[in-house]
Structure 1
Amino acid sequence: MSEPKSGGVKTLGIKVPDALHAQFALVAQLDGISLGDAALRAVELYVSTKKAEPDFAARAQAALEEIEREAAARRGAIQGLFGDDAPAADAGTTTSRSRRRSGEASD
């Protein structure tokens, strides 16, 4: 089982039918691990299995291209609103909306 590299974790809550839960709990108990560790192993196995599928890389690339198209469309919309005065994209800065929410003054 691998540790999160970024230090962050997410909580995942799922509904499992009673019979499957009973089997899952028994398998985890027989392996001497917690349900959380067993679930993490199951997710890791699922991800590695999907990555090994022949068409997975192509589907991931298509998803990435769609994200890029959507970002370009949104960028174009912002530029359309502001023209040459459009805010510069800087990944290292906080947006004015999130600064206002946190109580800081906006630019």
Structure 2
Amino acid sequence: MDDRPDPRATAVIATPAFTELVRSRRRFVVPATIVGFGAYLAIIVVSGFTDVLSGPALGVVSWTFVLTVLVFPLVWLLTGLYVRRAQHWDELADRAFAEASVDAGSSVR
């Protein structure tokens, strides 16, 4: 097996559009991951190790349950934002292929 990098991949990686794509994705993914995992971990830690959320919020429903249910819309929101941003990332990827003069449909290996 040949371990040399494919020149087409190297050409795409060297384009300004690819650099912008990587930066743009990182600017979204890192904060979104922190928010998503942060929400899960906060609920687990606060409800598991303190009594702060154990009180009733609505009748017999605890604050832990309410916050846990609110995680679902948060995940949907983050997913919707990701899908919306992914359209821009697809355009950047296409531009990177065009700048590198590489056919986007061809396989790298």
TM-score range, shorter chain: 0.3 to 0.5
**TM-score of the superposed pair, with normalisation by structure 2:** 0.34
Higher RCO (CA < 8 A, seq sep 6+): 2
Bigger proportion of residues as helix: 2
**TM-score of the superposed pair, with normalisation by structure 1:** 0.35
Bigger proportion of residues as strand: 2
